[in-house]
Structure 1
Amino acid sequence: MKTKNILTITFLISMVFLSCKQKEKTEVSTITDHEVNFEIEKQAILERLNNETKDAFQRDYEAWAKNWVHDPNITKVYVDFAENTFSESVGWKKISQFVKTFIEEHPEPEPVPELLSDINVRLYGNGAWVTYKQQDSLRGLKRETRLMEKVNGKWKIAGMQTTIYGFETETTIE
């Protein structure tokens, strides 16, 4: 009789455990099965990146700031091999101040580089990892990596790394 009771209790516990596991799977599946139109998301990210570039080169701080997540954990990194320099800013306050200072010291607009037409995008729910190359008329070849977050239905920049290779090197970037 004891063995039968132990088996019955074990069976009931197993069923409860399995039903809880099944519920977890269903909830996760519902979240991951949400339909996302990749091309629409990619186009929205592309527009945001082009707007941020235009705003920065045209020295429009207010417009530029609307392209970014205003959070203490975002990052902006420049690695300039041509000039042998590096800068890193962490948090919206520092990034914002860096750009304000740059605009104050260099108020004249620069020629806007050819706007992006193709980017590599990996979507992760409300986040995206984006990479691309760009030819800058003043700095030469650049590789950009951007971390994007969807905030209130709009893609914004949450992280940026720019590597500048310059003009003199014919570096092949894959």
Structure 2
Amino acid sequence: MIKRPILFLTCLILVMACKEQLPQKAEVAAVTEVNFQEEKAAILNTLNGETEAAFSRNYEAWQDKWVHDPDMTKVYLNFADSTFSESIGWEEVDQFVKDYFVAHPEPEPLPELVDDIDVRLYGTGAWVTYESVDSLRGRKRETRLMEKVDGQWKIAGMQTTIYGVEEK
């Protein structure tokens, strides 16, 4: 009679010892409270700063607003003149703007800076859309992929759709 319980306990111990260990409860990453309005204002500051720098031909200030990464992109779709340009990677984007500044060295009239943007935050990333108007190109729909780098929001991707100046 004693053999059965011992055999049962031995088998139970062997089964338990061989049983795959379940991973311990994963540590939950600390969630930091994000002030959406502060982040939106910081993103808006970056976007407007990049616009001011580009239109005034301030290369140093312009390039400071961008992520310098081989995977970032910049796309222009221009319905007004049926042109398209795409630059992939920081080196291409940077060269495109350097060439543009050389070909068009005179500053352009600064458009009205944007104050109404739609923002979706994803931790250290954000998806931003808005419309803008400038005197040379007209109405534009803008999309920006933003990344927070060393505490500063920077542009990691850009798509601009240009609709042109509306006839009155």
Q: Distance in 2 between matches of 1:3 and 1:130?
A: 63
Which structure has more helix as a fraction of its residues? Answer: 1
**TM-score under structure 2 length normalisation:** 0.87
- Following TM superposition, by how much is the alpha carbon of 1:52 offset from its aligned partner in structure 2, in angstroms? 0.1
- Following TM superposition, by how much is the alpha carbon of 1:138 offset from its aligned partner in structure 2, in angstroms? 1.0
| Deviation sequence 1:49-83 (CA, Å, 0-9, x none) | 00000000001111100000111111000000011
- 1:22-171 maps to which residues of 2 (within 5 A)? 22=25, 24=26, 26-27=27-28, 30-31=29-30, 33-168=31-166
RMSD: 2.3
- Following TM superposition, by how much is the alpha carbon of 1:118 offset from its aligned partner in structure 2, in angstroms? 1.3
**TM-score under structure 1 length normalisation:** 0.84
| Deviation sequence 1:25-72 (CA, Å, 0-9, x none) | x42xx34x2211111111100000000000000011111000001111
Structure 1 residue runs of 4 or more that deviate by more than 3 Å after TM superposition: 1-14
Q: Distance in 2 between matches of 1:164 and 1:68?
A: 21
| Deviation sequence 1:129-160 (CA, Å, 0-9, x none) | 11001111111110000001111111111000
Q: Distance in 1 between matches of 2:79 and 2:8?
A: 76
From the CA coordinates, give the structure whose radius of gyration is larger.
2
Q: Distance in 2 between matches of 1:118 and 1:74?
A: 24
